[in-house]
Chains A and B, each alone.
Chain A
Amino acid sequence: MPTRMPPSNRIIRDQRNFRVLLQAMSRPGRLFRLEALQPFGAHAAALAVAQCLLDHEVGFSTVGRESTESFAAAVAAATGARKAGLPEADFVFVAGPDGHGAAGAARRGSIDYPDAGATLVYSLDAQAARDPGHFRIRLSGPGIPEEDGIAPAMREIPAAELQALQTANADYPLGIDALFVRPNGELMALPRSTRIRLR
């Protein structure tokens, strides 16, 4: 008769973080909280996402500031995932709210298999200012019960970046799915099914 092994803390943390990711993806634009990996400072939450989802079967890419090189090394060491070019990567880790064109260059899947589109993980700064254009943004679609849409819970994301996501997802179901994380573990998801309107 099989019995169960005592699970390690990492197994339980990954499971809890996955459930948070799943809830966030099911309820776009709302705020959830991941259990972040504390020693990793600004990238703690992004690394928690990497540990939960990445392994040797997937390729990842990093975009943004110089510090992402050490982050890329940390991801590769913690997960065994391979580094890939931006157009081939399954996961793209972006430093800062500005995507540096990652949304336009990432893989959007094929017409037969739209699920092959990339997942973008944006690491936001702890003290980022609110974007002045945030009040113009409305999100609607699956997971959002409000008929007239909602404003995204994270207000520091530049309107230009949301516009880039909107453009990348214009040919739904082709597109990319975005996760935004703060260093304290706060998380917001914008899957490609979410309609982003700028008023």
Chain B
Amino acid sequence: MSTVVHPTPAPPADWRASCAPGHGRTSFAFLDEGAKREIRRRMLKAVAIPGCQVPFGSREMPIARGWGTGGLQLTLALIGPEDVLKVIDQGADDSVNAVSIRRFVTRVTGVRTTTDTPAATLIQTRHRVPEEPLRPHQILVFQVPIPEPLRLVEPSEVETRRMHAEADYSRMWLYLYEDIVTYGEITIGARYPVLVNRRHLMDPSPIPRWDVARLNRNPALMLFCAGREKRIYALPPHTLVEPLEFEDFGFRTESFAGRRCMHCGSTQSFLDEIIAEAAGRRRYACSDSAFCQKTRKAGGGLTHRPADGGRTP
């Protein structure tokens, strides 16, 4: 068997020379090498035990906790001069959080950035999986606010550790059951709990259910990090990811039946609802801005596999 080599583009010609002398300089990728090594060691353990939360020493970052410090630390420990970075915030490349993180990483590394999903080698995301299918050499880094899926039913960290150790997820099942009894529906929208590799219950971060189905056996490596809660976890490629569901009450994704994006006309993407207050009408637009622009350029003809894995009734 031959050595696996992923195609990597050459780094920008000036990435090393462009480092200006002067005060206030930082090391490459901001973090000191000791911090990177620790995060790297923890990342390898997280990949070796899919879905298991691995603690790490979260560092102070020049953005506030809760604004993506976890994802940012993983990105900085991963990134090298050959990388092409994409940062999205709820699907958009142009929101404040995404723009600020992208600018910061560029300033401390000199790497190239892109909004085109297939062109990126490293994608940092807040609460969405890009609509276009990911490829094997890509790494998706999620920003996570609450890494513990059992926090919904148990406030004690010691107790949730025990529950994970014993794979005792009965209280989570009970929560879902009571939801169905009370409301006739599982009311968890984002952060839908998933079982990874038939062993660990995992919080997929607040992605919509639409994206939860797309985590299963995805060819790309997915890394999750909560900076405030100091936890890293991972989904290696082709890992079995199953949303919790009952035999007689299956997992369902959001339905946009009969609706389409007001910009590109797509009926196959996750849509944001926009209420025009004056007229009181609801309108819909693609949450993934890069996908929307690409679809518009292609004349609305861009196709991709169904995002819900065919599970929507």
A residues whose Cβ falls under 8 Å from a Cβ of B: 1-7, 11-12, 14-16, 18-19, 21-23, 25-27, 30-33, 52-55, 57-58, 90, 111-115, 117, 119, 141-145, 153, 172-173, 177, 186, 191-193
Contact = CB atoms under 8 A, between A and B. Distances in A.
Interface string B33-69: 1101110111111111110101100000000000000
A177 B48 contact: yes
A23 B27 contact: no
Contacts of B33: 11, 14
Interface residues on B, range: 35 or more
Contacts of A5: 19, 25-28
A144 B236 CA distance: 9
A14 B39 CA distance: 13
The 4 A-B pairs of least Cβ separation, nearest first, read A191-B48, A7-B28, A115-B45, A142-B239
Contact of B80 (A19, A26, A112, A191): A19
8 contacts: A3-B107, A4-B107, A4-B108, A22-B47, A26-B236, A57-B38, A112-B161, A193-B48
Nearest to B40: A18
Given A19-B78, A26-B237, A32-B4, 12 more contacts: A11-B27, A15-B36, A57-B38, A58-B41, A112-B161, A115-B42, A115-B45, A115-B52, A142-B197, A142-B239, A143-B239, A177-B44
B28 A1 contact: no
A54 B42 CA distance: 12
A155 B200 CA distance: 32
Given A27-B4, A143-B238, A3 B40 contact: no
A12 B5 CA distance: 18
A144 B238 contact: yes
Contact of B1 (A12, A23, A153): A153
Nearest to B240: A142
B170 to A, nearest CB: 18
Contacts of A23: 4, 6, 221
A154 to B, nearest CB: 9
A119 B19 contact: no
Nearest to A21: B44
B313 interface: no
Nearest to B165: A111
B156 interface: no
A16 B80 contact: yes
A143 B136 CA distance: 10
Contacts of A21: 40, 44
B222 to A, nearest CB: 10
Contacts of A27: 4, 236-237
Nearest to B233: A115
Interface in B62-84: 77-81
Nearest to B162: A112
A9 to B, nearest CB: 10
A25 B27 contact: no
A89 to B, nearest CB: 13
A53 B40 contact: yes
Contacts of A25: 44, 47-48, 236
A2 B197 contact: no
A3 B236 contact: no
Contacts of B4: 23, 27, 30-32
A81 to B, nearest CB: 10
B49 A4 contact: no
B199 A6 contact: no
A11 B37 CA distance: 11
B3 interface: yes
Contacts of B139: 22
Contacts of B199: 172-173
Contacts of A6: 16, 19, 28
A2 B236 CA distance: 35
Contacts of A22: 40, 43-44, 47, 78, 139, 221
Residue with the highest number of chain A CB atoms closer than 10 Å, among B36, B44, B162: B44
